[in-house]
A and B are shown apart, each in its own frame.
Chain A
């Protein structure tokens, strides 16, 4: 017998280059607001720890360290991993355990510390997410995988780079209003369009950041939700999809097939359609990824995603606001924390608790999270529903 599951609380560390912290401190920062809200360790049955890669810190058994950092060392815990989609994979795993009745109350804690190594080394590690035998020997960096999407998309739809720069301008516009953001500054269209090349056609401003950070949420089974909050955010639908390991084997490079599969499953489970969604947090690890997400999630027809950004429909007052927290681009992308941070943001928006009115989305009933691992090998889409009026 499955039970409904709600997100009842969340916490969020400051994202950035956190030379002042290790995983321990980042985890403490993310859990502290939850603890302060009265969800103390004794009320948590078990934890899913979400981090993508141990290479960055060299710390083995990182999940034990993370649980220990916040006093949950004696409670059951496990780690979940799906590259950049690790955060939502962890929420999905916790959802299953809570819905099934194994636990009533679970903490999902995501963290990543990426800046203990240089950007070149981080780029090396991330390139190993490609096929080690056939892709890695050709030096395909992470941005390069998405540049392969961008080149193809730009050619098929005759789209100039300008469109991508507009997405970066939006991300930085909202990141500048988010005190938790890694790079909270506005950028001009010219700066974004003419920045130094990283993996052409993508430049610096097309890329997300290499970030340290953590975020946490608490999932509770329906019968016990009232003990925790009168503002529950229900998990209305969740879908997971996957795609071929090697990017050359994808039938198309203008969309992410696994994302479409994940979205279809989530909409079906929720009984909703794209037009019902009031806001989305999408995986903009690169500007092109956000554009493709508009289409994969059904907010725009294939090839028409550019209209959403050009007409500012993805701004906070638009038809379908997207990443009004700065996204991976400006808020930052600490891999294992990202999907959890997206969920945190949907809850903050639903509760009317965005940091500033200038990024507060009005009346969010349904919020969607789209979290992509690697270049689409794993994708999770989760639809949340406001549980109060």
Chain B
């Protein structure tokens, strides 16, 4: 049996990897963050979704190129869900790009308490051989 290229987002290995999501993840492995763009109404989605929420048209994956953002909100997770316990404490942040698009990911290199409004930069990381993620850096 041919071994499938197994790949997951973030810090979980939830198995719901569809062909659409896999395409997103394989781009992420190349440090490309893809957004979804609806060819019909031009609405953009970050993170992407396969079908446009408004007209259910299939979206195209297009590279999202903004890298600088501001911290919109954050949480320091001390008591984690069971599957994340070994990583706690970790910081989950919503970053807001100048375009207004937002993205939720960990901030991985903080040395002091996060502050709403602080500058963030988007980065990428191979978490393990099966896991890849986008992340925030200060």
Residue A99 lies at the interface, judged by CB distance under 8 Å to chain B: no
B84 interface residue (CB < 8 Å to A): yes
Q: Which residues of A lie under 8 Å from residue B105 when comparing CB positions? A: 138
Using CB atoms, name the residue of chain A closest to B116: A155
B107 to chain A, nearest CB (A): 11
- A133-169 near B? 1/0 per residue, CB < 8 Å: 1111111110110011101100110000000000000
> Chain A contacts of B94 at CB under 8 A?
148, 247-248
Closest to B45 in A: A249
- With contacts A132-B16, A138-B92, A155-B117 known, is A121 near B82, CB below 8 A? yes
Which segment, of A45-53, A60-68, A197-205, A227-235, faces chain B? A197-205
A-B pairs with beta carbons under 8 Å apart, 21 shown? A123-B79, A123-B80, A127-B81, A133-B14, A134-B9, A136-B12, A136-B14, A137-B10, A137-B11, A138-B106, A139-B83, A139-B88, A139-B90, A140-B92, A151-B73, A151-B116, A152-B72, A152-B73, A197-B76, A248-B72, A248-B103
Count of A interface residues, CB-CB < 8 Å: 39
Residues from chain A with a CB closer than 8 A to the CB of B103 are 248
Residues of A within 8 A of B133 (CB): 137
Question: Across chains A and B, which 8 residue pairs bring their CB atoms closest together, nearest first?
Answer: A137-B10, A139-B84, A155-B116, A147-B75, A200-B76, A124-B82, A152-B73, A124-B81
Chain A hits for B72, CB < 8 A: 152, 248, 253
The chain B residue with its CB closest to the CB of A196 is B78
When the two chains form the complex, which single residue of B16, B79, B87 contacts A133, counting CB atoms closer than 8 Å? B16
A144 contact from B21, B92, B117, Cβ within 8 A: B92
Q: Is B47 an interface residue (CB 8 A)?
A: yes
Q: Is the CB of B116 within 8 A of A140?
A: no
User: Which residues of B have CB within 8 Å of A253?
Assistant: 72-73
**A102 interface residue per 8 A CB criterion:** no
